[in-house]
Amino acid sequence: MESIEKVRKILLDKVYDSDSPREVLRSKELRGLYGLIKTLPVEERSSFGQKINGIKQEIEKAILEREEVLNTVSLPPIDITAPMDINAPQPELLPSDRGTIHPLSREIDRISDIFNRMGFVMEESREIDDQFHMFESLNFPKGHPARDDYDTFMTVETDKDGDRLIAPAHTSTMQNRVLVKYRDNLAKGEAIAAIVPDRVFRNEDLDARHEHTFYQVEGVYVAKGVNVGNLIATLQEFLQEYYGKKLYVRVNPFYFPFTEPSFEFALSCPFCEGKNPDCKVCSGEGWIELLGCGMIHPKVLEAADIDPNEYTGFAFGCGIDRLVMMKYGIEDVRHFESGRLDFLEQF
């Protein structure tokens, strides 16, 4: 009888300590008690069995109480903004246990920060857009051959004009919206100054330099008396800040429907500064054709109800992947979207 009382206490303690108290009903102690019955003289079995059944009922009652407590227990909320103590001893971590900021996200923050300090506000692009913003508002009328230069992804469904929608192939798809949104700045004597760093899509054949999904930063600046000198100075200032060194730039004439004049903008190789004939970044040429830019076409300003006789502006679109690859000597653009931990963990 004494040992029954001991086992009863052990089992009840187990119930009150357990996170899954129902398991106590299957414990070897309880089964042991039932097992004892057949070892007893026949006349004692009945009263012993009743005692054990009483204990079992007590345990079941305790289980219900314990489950009630477990269901209502409130855990302290986790403060996800609390700083992590990086010096604290860490358990053995698998690579997947601790995340890092994706290199492109981090560099986009840096790029935005530089432009913010130069007075540009940031706008987001979108992942699906209409043909008006992708082409018409940028002086690519319907049937314009330069539309075919963009290998666009299009939807099967069409919009109310019967046109397919497009996964933007350039961040310029936001130019008209930026101009309209900040148009009132001009009347107040302020400039329109915005950047759009975001994701773009092209139906490309993939190789080390071409990816179907990549990033651009669009820049738009409009005010009175803006000229090509302002454009070049802005880009040079940005690039020198980004690479942390003095760089030389040069522009070559180019063609885009939405800028006039248009330029291809090159900078001196930030890697070898033109001193290494075997440089992989510039192929030993010392110059890198980096981005397209120009003075915003009068028709683009007109499409946003801005008088091109009164205001002028510049725009540029720069591949972010390319900037980052040059900064860190990354040889293959496909690494960015590969999800490869051995690549991502280096940043």
Closer to Zn ion by Cβ: residue 286 or 319? 286
Q: With beta carbons less than 8 A apart as the criterion, state whether 221 and 232 touch.
A: no
- Which residue of 104, 179, 267, 269 would you call a contact of Zn ion, by CB under 5 A? 269
Distance, CA of 118 to CA of 122 (rounded, Å): 12
Q: Select 222 or 281, whichever has its Cβ closest to Zn ion.
A: 281
What is the three-class DSSP state of 74? coil
Give the integer Cα–Cα distance in Å for 69 and 161.
Answer: 62
- Least gap, CB of 238 to Zn ion (angstroms): 20
Does position 272 interact with Zn ion (CB under 5 A)? The reply is yes
Q: How far is the CB of 266 from Zn ion (least distance, A)?
A: 12
Interacting span for Zn ion (CB under 5 A) from 56-64, 106-114, 157-165, 264-272? 264-272
In whole angstroms, give the CA distance from residue 122 to residue 106.
Answer: 15
Paired strand residues for 192: 222
CB 212 within 8 A of CB 206: yes
Q: Which is nearer to Zn ion, 296 or 333 (CB)?
A: 333
Nearest to 128 by CA among 30, 56, 201, 50: 201
Stretch that binds Zn ion, among 78-86, 225-233, 244-252, 265-273 (CB under 5 A): 265-273
271 is a contact residue toward Zn ion (CB under 5 A): yes
Range in contact with Zn ion (rule: CB under 5 A) among 155-163, 181-189, 270-278, 336-344: 270-278
Tokens found for residue 153: 């992804």
Pick the stretch among 14-22, 129-137, 267-275, 333-341 that binds Zn ion (CB under 5 A). Answer: 267-275
Q: Which two tokens stand for residue 191?
A: 């400039």
Among 122, 223, 232, 279, binds Zn ion (CB under 5 A): 279
We find the least distance from the C-beta atom of residue 85 to Zn ion, in angstroms, to be 42
Residue 213 tokens, joined: 């999904």
Is residue 296 within the footprint of Zn ion (CB under 5 A)?
A: no
Distance CA 266, CA 251 (A): 6
Per CB under 5 A, does 196 bind Zn ion? no
Distance of CA 42 to the CA centre of its chain: 75
- Residue 220 or 281: the one with the smaller Cβ distance to Zn ion is 281
Question: Which of 191, 193, 239, 282 is close enough to bind Zn ion by CB under 5 A?
Answer: 282
Place of tokens 């009382």: 5
| Nearest alpha-carbon partner for 287 in 276, 273, 308 | 273
Helix 103-117 / helix 320-328 crossing angle, nearest 10 deg: 110
Nearer to Zn ion, 227 or 283 (CB): 283
By the rule CB under 5 A, 251 interacts with Zn ion = no
Residues found near Zn ion in the complex (CB under 5 A)? 269, 271-272, 279, 281-282
